[in-house]
Amino acid sequence: MTTLKAAFEGKKALITYITAGDPDLETTGYLLRLLDREGVDILEVGIPFSDPLADGPVIQQAGQRALAGGATLKKILGMLAGLRGAISAPIALMGYMNPIIAYGPEKFAADAADAGAAGVIIPDLPFHQSEPLASLLREKGIDLILMVTPNTTPERLGDIAARASGFLYCVSRLGVTGDARTGEAPLKDYIGRVRARTSLPLALGFGVNGPEKARLAACVADGVVVGSALVSLLHPCGADRTRLVAAASGFVRSLREAVDGACAI
């Protein structure tokens, strides 16, 4: 398995998100292997939570389905541990603090390492309170990936960038109908402000729902995150592997082509 840093070397990184346990953990494992084969550079794996404040309705519903099906943090980490050696792309866990606190931060860091996690994203963990968990993860060789938004102040951006590792997740306004900030120039300005504060790779996500927006995002950032669009596409397939292959492969290949063909920064 490669590192997060290596995933950005020599190319624009394609990052996909799926919710672990939707529709079940066996299918999640199959999907991760499939996405890896199709050339995804980083596999973001969502840990379902009952109150996911940073997630839109598509991922909220996926999380509810996963929880109803019995997915737990322990089971998810166990599933991922069983994939070690079967996939080459690094895994970034995305979850919330409540399940981690309930699990135990030290145990979480240890078990995440055993599961092969290269990074962890926790949207509801304030950056100025992140060091205790970041230290535990760092001891296990895991990056704590922090997030910024277009309205993050310069001072706050500098503080976040100083604490981040792996890559910086740049939340975008892409895809919001009628929002003047969705054009290429505002995105370029936004990413330029972030890039001036850090040497970490920058991944742009939230609202990247197809090849054209992936191309636009890859023109300005070092990587592109696609989540809700993929989760929505896969949901009707259930656990039917023939349908999953047909749906996922074509979509990921179109994203890969768009990201690889994007303009240079």
Among 24, 36, 38, 55, the active-site one is 55
38 is catalytic: no
Q: What are the backbone dihedrals phi and psi of residue 119, each rounded to the nearest 5 degrees, phi first?
A: -155, 165
Burial of 100 (0-12, 13-18, 19+ CB in 10 A): buried
Q: Which residues contact 178 (CB under 8 A, 6 or more apart)?
A: none
44 is catalytic: yes
Q: What are the backbone dihedrals phi and psi of residue 61, each rounded to the nearest 5 degrees, phi first?
A: -65, -40
Among 44, 111, 143, 222, the active-site one is 44
Of 239, 230, 114, 92, nearest to 164 by C-alpha is: 92
SS3 labels along 44-68: EEECCCCCCCCCCHHHHHHHHHHHH
Catalytic machinery residues: 44, 55
